[in-house]
Amino acid sequence: DWCKEMLKKYDRGASKGIYKIATCDESWIYAYEPETKQQSTVWVFQDEPNPTKVVRGRTTSKQMVACFFDKTGHVATVPLEQRRTVNSEWYTTICLPEVFGE
């Protein structure tokens, strides 16, 4: 019902008001410290098969971000400060001014 109301309100996307609608998705961004070529070097004898290396990368850091989009595409990416919680205060005081340029 809500979707039908919005389609009606915004004239199936033809209304200029559609440009005032933004959506958001939160995601974790992970950073890894890649192993150098020298660190990954392994000596093997000629008659030995090459070793199979299955190692999961070590996460050096992670960052929560909120990505905002509108009808035209990407609007803004807002990082969450360390030890901060995503809540309505964060959205209204940090995100929305950055997204809407207020």
3-state secondary structure the chain: CHHHHHHHHCHHHCCHHHHHCEEEEEEEEEEECCCCCCCCCCCCCCCCCCCCCCCCCCEEEEEEEEEEEECCEEEEEEECCCCCCCCHHHHHHHHHHHHHCC
Residue keyed to tokens 């990416």: 77
Residues facing 22 on adjacent strands? 70
Q: What pLDDT, on the 0 to 100 scale, is given for residue 56? A: 66
14 pLDDT above the threshold of 90: no
Residues facing 4 on adjacent strands? none
Q: What pLDDT, on the 0 to 100 scale, is given for residue 60? A: 77
Q: What pLDDT, on the 0 to 100 scale, is given for residue 20? A: 79
What average pLDDT does the segment 37-63 reach? 79
pTM for the model stands at 0.61
Q: What pLDDT, on the 0 to 100 scale, is given for residue 30? A: 87
Q: What pLDDT, on the 0 to 100 scale, is given for residue 50? A: 84
